[in-house]
Chains A and B, each alone.
Chain A
């Protein structure tokens, strides 16, 4: 069998998605930890378009973008399927995956900004969570995938573990009190899955890491995508 390598970073939810999928399917892989402040030449060579992790390299050939990687894994290793078989259900699953990708940005923006911009991001995030609660989770069983997790649960995994870290660092609370009961239940169930539970980055380490990174971002000396830049 051709070797599978994953270039990832321990604090990244995108990196974790791929780890969860690989472990769910029982695919042996070699993990290479990337220093996000000092990216390796191999990473830059394998992902020239974005220079980002995660990158999966299978038999020497790179695949970039976490959700593209997951669909690839599902096609090459059909056991423990991530997507349903019915085309309409697959379209529905992909819809929520895209929603997780597009709307998840608002929560990242809470973390990356302050003041008015952060307030707008907070409103966008609440709107997103409301849609998820009312349209995405309404009528669902334990998980988006039914009794077991599927690609949609994995795509929203960052809400279960990373959103709380952002709330703590920024002081901006999103899921509090009696709000979003379905989402709270899903988050709890998701983290109880042993595969997930055993493959989550340490919370204290994450708080320290993201707190430092946020100061860097806000100091405008550094951009998470482009590295060190000078303000115009």
Chain B
């Protein structure tokens, strides 16, 4: 068993894991990172998330917290004074939760379809994906971050997808920057932060992983 109070069961390309890495880094929380092999899940993962058997799982003092957005809020509530990601005003918090929910409803599945499908299905996914990003860009507006002047909850939830942009663009043969230049600008600003830089894998590494995955799934 780990000696550290906080353990993160994760898988390096997962955008859901990345957002937790960012939050823990932002708050300066020391933790043990455990890489899971999703084709050979550890007994600890299966025991910690018996319902979904998925990463990420945050284990704090031996107790597991599953689902990345839930674990993010847990981290906020247990360590409220260190670099808070959620605003204090309830209405602003409701808006942050709304947009985090929107991001998770749309981007993972649409993004996946841009690299895992072909033809009409892929074209439809690309269009919807870009429409979602444009909506997020509109929500960002002229603010430096979704959180306003400071990097916040929605920023942490969205930025991990940036590490997958090269994969989406290359597999789908399209440019995200062409349609959403402000969003790319925002992403690069986020990447200047140490917590984000060290939590996101290089885009090319993610692309290599997806090519291997496509081979494995017989999609090439």
Contact = CB atoms under 8 A, between A and B. Distances in A.
A72 interface: yes
B97 A68 contact: yes
A65 B91 contact: no
Interface string A189-224: 000000000000000000000000000000000000
Nearest to B99: A49
Interface residues of A, number: 22
Q: Is the interface of A mostly helix, strand, loop or mixed?
A: helix
B220 interface: no
A164 to B, nearest CB: 25
Interface stretch (B62-70, B111-119, B173-181, B206-214): B62-70
Contacts of A87: 74, 77-78
A99 interface: yes
A197 to B, nearest CB: 29
Nearest to B120: A232
Interface in B58-116: 60, 63, 65-67, 69-71, 73-74, 77-78, 90-91, 93-95, 97-98, 101-102
B54 to A, nearest CB: 12
Contacts of A95: 65-67, 70
B135 A49 contact: yes
A231 interface: no
Contacts of A169: none
A99 B95 CA distance: 21
Given A71-B94, A72-B91, 16 more contacts: A63-B91, A63-B94, A68-B94, A68-B98, A69-B94, A75-B90, A87-B78, A88-B60, A88-B63, A88-B65, A90-B77, A94-B73, A98-B67, A98-B69, A99-B51, A135-B51
Interface of B: 50-51, 60, 63, 65-67, 69-71, 73-74, 77-78, 90-91, 93-95, 97-98, 101-102, 135
Give 3 nearest A-B pairs by CB, closest first: A75-B90, A87-B77, A72-B94
